[in-house]
Structure 1
Amino acid sequence: MSVGDDQPTALPVFADVDTGVDDAMALVYLLASADADLVGIGATGGNVDVDQVCRNNLGLLELCGAPEIPVSRGADQPLSAAMRTAEDTHGPAGLGYAELPLHHRELTSYDSAEAWVRAAHALPGELIGLVTGPMTNLALAVRDEPNLPSLLRRLVIMGGSFDYRGNTTPVAEWNISVDPEAAAEVFDAWGRAADADAIAPHQLPIVCGLNLTENIALTPKVLSRLATAADTATTAMSVLDARGTRSTADNHVIRALEDAMRFYFEFHFDQGEGYLAHLHDPLAAAVALDPGLIQTRATTVDVELTGTLTRGMTIADWSRRWGRESNAHVGVGVDPEAFFDRFIERVGPFARRLAHS
């Protein structure tokens, strides 16, 4: 099945991110989308530390000529685990080789958990929540406002891995493994709301796990299509290029994205996956705007917290052996070509307009 509802012209979205390379691509996608109104950004530590995430978020808004969208600093530590970051995957500053412009933008005076609650109360029943990093901020927000599940129109999560391998441990995906307790609290909160009939089925989280997102494999050939759509000349990337080769694109947005993706390509190549990159977070951003892009199955999701070998693993009770109500719609199918077509047709012209503005 697909999960969806009638959509207005511009959907208000609050994005909670740990901005590394693919989070950046997700934010650019939202900014390029006429049907998205990015009303706030929360930062959490994950791919890099939370202060670097904040710098990346503010710099990306400047790069894209965005209005003064509120950006909040969130949790710098998981609920109970030790903090881990992934500079080996995303680069020392989280955006590979990309350089962001100078600016005078500032963070909000309130943290990301409060930002979630403020946005939900300002737009009850309308706000779409998107989480592409650890769920620490969202868990804290639900502690502060237990009615948050019923206030959101829908919630889309990039996290977990269902009947599929992990990318951090043999069974655990990165976002969940950084803060498994937060993820467990979030799924439990939406489960309790479902049990109490406080939310409708379409308000259950839509979960984009590795089993779904690793189908979205960006290659240099596809990335070259983005430059063409932006009407900018560039040199196609190759595995034979020297490490750290910089983009030749004269469009500043395309140049930044190519420099970020270069590092991501190199990381995936070193992991034995080929000269490509999985666009986990941009897919989740696209699903936030149009759930019909993927196929889902309703199920009960929980997170393993105590397993010696399985901590951070996400389990879907497909057979309903737990006897609990569904608390999520898990993504099980996607058409990568349809996603890339949509990404390119939005971000390419957006970058071209910025170059001429």
Structure 2
Amino acid sequence: MPQKIILDVDTGIDDSLALLYLLASPEAEIIGIAATAGNVPTAQVAINTAALLELTGAGGIEVAAGADEPLAVPLRTTEDTHGPQGLGYAELPVPTHPLSDRSAASMWVELARAQPGEVIGLCTGPLTNLALALRIEPELPRLLRRLVIMGGAFNHPGNTTPTNEWNIHVDPEAAKEVFDAFSAAPPDRRPLVCALDITETIEMRPEHLIALAEAAHSLPIERVDAGDQPEWRSAASNPVIRYLTDAVRFYFDFHHLYDLGYLAHMHDPFAAAVALDPALATTRPATVDVELAGTITRATTVADWAGMWGREPNADIVIGTDPAVFFERLVTRVGALARRLYPEPPS
């Protein structure tokens, strides 16, 4: 049976690949998508998400808008990382399907209550919506089958401050509420946390875009590189490959600008893959908390690996994986989805 997924996103280039990965996976059934303010504001996240769903013929999936601001601090967005609209250089038609009538927090609660023990929550953005949902329904840690979070940095530098990962940085109060609440989850339902320690080993390169185009039977096969001008756009015959090329190329450019190489860290699609198959990851239990008061360490995720706090573990942190296996799945699945959706080049 397909695994029922609530996806909570701040779409976002790598969020969009997570969405494509789930849509391309026969074992996944997305039952609702929550739009979270983060990479771009909530309204733009909802537009981006709905547009991608329509590109892939999945426009009937519910998209619910969440809060416009974090719980306690002003919203910070990151268009420099993801582009002015959040999708890099890519542009998609304005979606025609209406958004849900219910809020993202209400959607979380109502879907989990209706299918107790069956739903996997996957959060690839700030945790604002889930924190608000927990305020409505504190039993969510026991109602969900599992929660998977892309967020945090433990034995690894941050990507926003020296110690902060972006998703936690945007709304640290929400992250703390979530980790505190999930201390009540049974051991087999502890959140799986994909932090920078592992997601920054998931390095997408131009060769992966070539492999996706080949898998989709898209022409021409285009190789992007650091010398491409910002105004260059893909001429790929397959609209999904054209979208991916234009979106991911912006992400490559961003990483290259900061001397990380001409590559892109695929944080969110890796979390999606782990949500569907936890065997992709090696994990270690820990008690996770979020620093809120530190002058220079606010929003840092802290893991008590040794039980020094005397509190039971509330998370299983991913500490190992094989990136090659992940990318083989990404290319195979998303390439096949693109080929199935658009089997012939447009005339």
TM range (shorter): over 0.9
Partner deviation per Cα, 1:16-40 (whole Å, 9 max, x = no partner): 0000100001001111110000000
Equivalence for 1:207: 193
For residues 222-301 of structure 1, the aligned pairs below 5 Å read 222-233=208-219, 234-301=221-288
Task: Check whether the contact 1:244–1:262 (CA below 8 A) recurs between aligned residues.
Answer: no
**What is the Cα deviation at residue 121 of structure 1?**
1.1
Partner in structure 2 of residue 69 of structure 1: 61
Partner of 1:177: 169
Q: Is the 8 A contact 1:218 1:276 kept in 2?
A: yes
The equivalent residue for 2:19 is: 27
Taking the TM superposition and a 5 Å limit, the aligned residue runs for 1:1-357 are 9-191=1-183, 193=184, 199-233=185-219, 234-356=221-343
How far apart, in 1, do the equivalents of 2:244 and 2:54 lie?
14
- Note the C-alpha offset of 1:162: 1.1
Write the letter of the residue equivalent to 1:146. Answer: P
Q: Which amino acid in 1 is paired with 2:267? A: H
Asked if 1 retains the 8 angstrom alpha-carbon contact of 2:47 and 2:95, the reply is: no
Aligned-pair identity in percent equals 57
Task: Tell me, in whole angstroms, the C-alpha distance in 1 between the residues paired with 2:8 and 2:105.
Answer: 10
- Is the 8 Å Cα contact of residues 47 and 94 (structure 2) preserved in structure 1? no
Q: Distance in 2 between matches of 1:309 and 1:41?
A: 34
Could you tell me how far apart the structure 1 residues matched to 2:45 and 2:322 are?
30
Q: Any runs of at least 4 consecutive aligned residues in structure 1 with deviations exceeding 2 A, and if so which?
A: none
Alpha-carbon displacement from aligned partner over 1:62-92 (angstroms, at most 9, x marks no partner): 0111151110000110000111000000000
- TM-score by length of structure 1 reads 0.95
Separation in 1, partners of 2:9, 2:94: 21
Q: Provide the rounded CA distance (Å) in 2 between the counterparts of 1:181 and 1:38.
A: 27
**Secondary structure, aligned partner of 1:229:** helix
Contact kept, 8 Å, 1:64 with 1:354, in 2: the verdict is yes
CA contact (8 A) 1:268 1:275 kept: yes
Q: CA deviation at 1:299?
A: 0.6
Root-mean-square deviation over aligned CA pairs = 0.9
Deviations 1:290-347 (A, max 9, x none): 1111110001000000101101110110111100000000010010000000111110
Number of residue pairs matched?
343
| Matched residue type, 2:28 | A
Question: SS state of the match for residue 315, structure 1?
Answer: strand
Structure 1 unmatched runs, 5+: 1-8, 194-198
Whether the 8 Å contact between 2:43 and 2:65 is mirrored in structure 1 is yes
**Alpha-carbon distance in structure 1 between the residues aligned to 2:43 and 2:256:** 28
Is contact 1:50–1:74 with CA below 8 Å preserved after alignment? yes
The alpha carbon displacement at 1:99 in A equals 1.3
Give the secondary structure class of the aligned counterpart of 2:112: helix
